[in-house]
Amino acid sequence: MEGVSFPEADAMLRLALAILLGGAIGLERESRGRPAGLRTHILVCLGATIIMIASTRMAIFSQALPAASRIQVDPGRIAAGIVTGIGFLGAGAIIRIGDLVRGLTTAGCIWFVAALGITIGQGLYALAIVSTVLALVVLLMLTQVEKHMQPIVYRSIVVITSLAHAESIEKECRALLQDRNIRVQDIINRLSIAHDEAEVTFKISARHHLQSGEVLRAVSALKGVTEARWF
């Protein structure tokens, strides 16, 4: 590169690699419609790289000063500050709606590209490239594995019935859930004498929440049930 010294050319290479590798992770997040996508991941990776390049240059410059006026610059402490500070951005990507938590993977990706920027800023190109490839394998390949898994989910089923049917409904519901391999962990009863109404809440663990529709239809079909909810 004409007119540019090797250290400057090396810095430009690190910045370009940060854009490329950070963009690869961001592109995967963007394709899944996540709020922190291509631009966010590139900027985080690029920013971490710039900070590490600048801190390394300051450390080299301080070593050239006389001992009496030397200022100690530790790139390791600056890297630790990047990792700590990026946690606030990652936390902003996590959204909780009731029992549903979204954004954990995106928050992890933001933290990863910050670490990627630190690695690139230190000139560890091979490590940065291999790490990016492994991260993409995790994001793309393991997504297919997760689709075939049936994770255990914890939910509640609320059944409304009359006081006269409360005891029988509780027994019938327990048997119905047991037939579907749904474990009942706890049962909460709320009785209203004035309204002649009983609310029975079943705290359950099931293999997959997608069976909720079939379970609710079976519960609501029981004699005496006026309302059934799953949440």
Per-residue model confidence as pLDDT tens digits over 162-195: 999 999 999 999 999 999 888 999 999 999 988 8
**Do residues 23 and 127 share a domain?**
yes
**Do residues 84 and 136 share a domain?**
yes
Residues 6+ apart with CB under 8 A from 83: 111, 114, 115, 118
Q: Which pLDDT does position 3 carry in this prediction?
A: 42
**Do residues 17 and 107 share a domain?**
yes
The 10 Å Cβ neighbour count of residue 11 is 20
Rounded Cα gap, residues 12 and 15, in angstroms: 5
Would 83 be classed as within a structural domain? Answer: yes
- Domain boundary, last residue among 102, 125, 147: 147
**Do residues 117 and 27 share a domain?**
yes
Rounded Cα gap, residues 111 and 29, in angstroms: 13
Q: How many domains does the chain have?
A: 2
Q: Are 109 and 93 in contact (CB under 8 A)?
A: no
Q: Which pLDDT does position 48 carry in this prediction?
A: 93
Among 34-38, 118-122, 148-152, the range with the most confident prediction by mean pLDDT is 118-122
Would 180 be classed as within a structural domain? Answer: yes
**Do residues 137 and 207 share a domain?**
no
Would 41 be classed as within a structural domain? Answer: yes
**Do residues 35 and 137 share a domain?**
yes
DSSP element (H, E) containing 22: helix 6-31
**Do residues 53 and 26 share a domain?**
yes
Phi, psi dihedral angles at 74 (to 5 degrees): -110, 105
Would 20 be classed as within a structural domain? Answer: yes
Buried/exposed code over 99-126 (b: 16+ C-beta within 10 A; e: otherwise): eeeebebbbebbbbbbbbbbbbbbbeee
Phi, psi dihedral angles at 179 (to 5 degrees): -60, -25
The HSE-up count of residue 184 (CA atoms within 13 Å, CB side) is 19
pTM across the whole model = 0.66
Rounded Cα gap, residues 105 and 34, in angstroms: 10
pLDDT reading at 4 higher than 50: no
Rounded Cα gap, residues 92 and 132, in angstroms: 23
**Do residues 86 and 196 share a domain?**
no
> Given the structure tokens 């300051």, which residue do they identify?
58
**Do residues 211 and 127 share a domain?**
no
**Do residues 111 and 41 share a domain?**
yes
**SS3 at position 226:** strand
Q: Which pLDDT does position 200 carry in this prediction?
A: 94
What's the domain range around 40?
A: 6-147
Q: Which pLDDT does position 5 carry in this prediction?
A: 45
**Do residues 121 and 182 share a domain?**
no
Rounded Cα gap, residues 93 and 40, in angstroms: 11
pLDDT tens for each residue of 131-169? 999 999 999 888 777 777 767 788 899 999 999 999 999
67 band by pLDDT with thresholds 50, 70 and 90:
low
Q: Are 103 and 93 in contact (CB under 8 A)?
A: yes
Would 104 be classed as within a structural domain? Answer: yes
Q: Which pLDDT does position 94 carry in this prediction?
A: 73
Would 1 be classed as within a structural domain? Answer: no
**Do residues 30 and 122 share a domain?**
yes
- Domain boundary, last residue among 125, 147, 169: 147
pLDDT tens for each residue of 74-113? 666 777 778 777 877 777 777 766 656 677 888 899 999 9
Would 14 be classed as within a structural domain? Answer: yes
Closest CA to 14 of 135, 117, 136: 117
- Domain boundary, last residue among 122, 147, 172: 147
| CATH code (residue 218) | 3.30.70.260
